[in-house]
Structure 1
Amino acid sequence: MATTKTMKIDWLGEQRYVGRSENGQQLLIDNSANKVGVSPMDALLGALGTCTAYDVVGIMAKRKTPLSTYRIEVEGERADTTPARYTRITVRHIAGGAGVTLEQLEKAAHLSHEKYCSVAASLNAEIVLDVRLAESSES
């Protein structure tokens, strides 16, 4: 059976909106001159990053190699035409922890993007993974 989710969005004036989930959580989307929230396209990158983060953290913990540090950097390339959609998104996973190997981290990231992350599955953009151990990302 399919699941239906609802987000109610209220206009706050200018190009500012607040979305409210069914559970009452709020998301401020702001594309006005004096931004106090994120733009819709930034929110999309954030949704992709956090969706895959949930998966990777959980997968690594189940494999008995929990992460002690983890950061995701998401970079989107947009089309020059309207709509200026993301055509290519790079998701950089930078993580480390006792016993964590690059191979394990790559497997977890690929599993998330190919099987579990609903946001990634919903996008019509090329998604490129870049996986690094935290120690090797320091210069």
Structure 2
Amino acid sequence: MTVTKTMTLHHLGEQRYVGHSASGHQILLDNSPIKVGVSPSEALLAAVAGCTAYDVVEIMRKKRTPLAEYRVELVAELDDTTTPKHYRRMTVRHLGRGQGVTQETLLKAAELSHEKYCSVAASVKSEIVVEAALLPDPATP
């Protein structure tokens, strides 16, 4: 089964945009000289980190070893010698602790997320078809 997700982006001026999701939430993307939001490429990193974090927290909870403290640090290597620039490698570091939590169980949860559950990481690792299209001009009858 295919699930369709949507995001509508509105230009706010300069290189600043607000995205509206179908669920009614917003994200501010900003690549202007005076930034007040994250750049699109930073948003991608946050999406990968957030997706795997959701999985790891849930996996650890289901194993009855909930995390008392947890964070994800993502380090990405951006190849700026290509056009377009793109990420060559991402290292996602999971740091957490809690009663009964071992480095081994945390690593297994992280690996399970990256290999089986995290749709964002899976999308980044795969070939995604991205097409450009035009919407009809609403002013045109």
After TM superposition, the score normalised by the length of structure 2 is: 0.86
Separation of aligned partners in 2, 1:75 and 1:105 = 19
Separation of aligned partners in 2, 1:124 and 1:111 = 15
What's the CA shift for 1:124? 3.5
Q: For residues 1-139 of structure 1, what are the structure 2 equivalents within 5 Å? A: 1-79=1-79, 80-124=81-125
Deviations 1:42-84 (A, max 9, x none): 0000000010000000000000100000010011101121111
Output the amino acid matched with 2:61: A
Output the amino acid matched with 1:2: T
Aligned residues: 125
- Structure 2 stretches of 5 or more lacking a match? 127-141
Separation of aligned partners in 1, 2:19 and 2:82 = 27
Separation of aligned partners in 1, 2:38 and 2:70 = 22
More relative contact order in 1 or in 2 (CA 8 Å, sep 6+)? Answer: 1
Q: Aligned-residue CA RMSD in angstroms?
A: 1.0
Output the amino acid matched with 1:43: A
Q: Secondary structure at the match of 2:113?
A: helix
Q: Secondary structure at the match of 1:23?
A: coil
- Structure 1 stretches of 5 or more lacking a match? 126-139
1:48–1:119 contact (8 Å) kept in structure 2: yes
After TM superposition, the score normalised by the length of structure 1 is: 0.88
Matched-pair identity in % = 62
Output the amino acid matched with 1:22: A
Please identify which structure carries the higher strand content.
1
Output the amino acid matched with 1:26: Q
Separation of aligned partners in 1, 2:68 and 2:42 = 26
* Aligned structure 1 segments of 4 or more residues deviating by more than 6 angstroms: none
